[in-house]
Amino acid sequence: MKSKSQIIILLSTLALISGCKKDDGNPAAPAAEGLAEPAFRYVSANWFNQVFTLPMDNIWQYYGIAAKGQNYYFLSNPTQARTYSDRFNPQSNYFQSWFGAYTIEDANNTTYALSNNSINAQAILQLSIADQKAWLISFAGMSNPSVSIDTSVAVNVSQVQVDGRSGWKITGSLISNVDVGANNPQSNRPPLLLIPPSAWQGIVGSYAMVKLEVVSYVWYTPENKELNVVYYNGVEFDDLSAAHHRTLPLISAELDSMALHVTVRK
């Protein structure tokens, strides 16, 4: 029988290799669990216009999170004749950046992280922490990644309108390893996900620690009985030449526009 960590690796690897589909900009039919798949109405040309999908139940539950749902995520496009995503290029504004959405189904008439119309921002951040840890294990080849909330930065919550409903915008910071490092697999992956050592060596350390500036839009849709979380991030780090990089101010307008064009409405 597979251990839970082996199940995480299997699920993530399958999603990377075969779990993507073209997003046609139209709302999808409800999934088998009763969730409506999000439609990404605007995807910038800087992002690969295919969405990767991954069931998150086992990953979240492995890390002690009582949630069931799906992850839909994008990777930034290659640039300058490269074949691998700019996510893996430390000289790109999209280094270590994610854009995607979680849909989390209600359980026993209870909505994850939501109580009395108040959102638990820490619980939302925990979804991303578990996701990032699983990615670093399954994709990056790490055995013991470190991902945590950056307690030196305040977690801010504000009320917003998103997808035609009242919701919340949550901002904060995580401290995490990067996913470029010595154990990155060099075969059996699509070119978008194959990272040559030359992409990062001499620029950042193997699995270096960085800050991820994270943004989430969260709203509840009672007709789908789900909590929706659209997320994106930038990175802040010093490279090996001591140059400082902070990417979120450079890409936030683009990613915010993408986020506010996500819908789960039928």
pLDDT digit string (tens) for 84-117? 999 999 999 999 999 999 999 999 999 999 999 9
Q: Looking at residue 186, what is its pLDDT? A: 95
Q: Looking at residue 266, what is its pLDDT? A: 74
Averaged confidence pLDDT in the chain: 91
| Alpha-carbon distances, residue 218 vs 20, 53, 112 (angstroms) | 23, 19, 11
Q: Which SS3 state, helix, strand or coil, does residue 256 take? A: helix
More confident residue, 2 or 174: 174
| Alpha-carbon distances, residue 1 vs 4, 6, 7, 113, 148 (angstroms) | 9, 10, 10, 32, 30
- Cα–Cα dist 101/230, whole Å: 4
What end-to-end distance do the CA atoms of the chain give, in Å? 40
pTM above 0.85, yes or no: yes
Q: Looking at residue 16, what is its pLDDT? A: 55
Pairing of the two strands 156-162 and 165-177: antiparallel
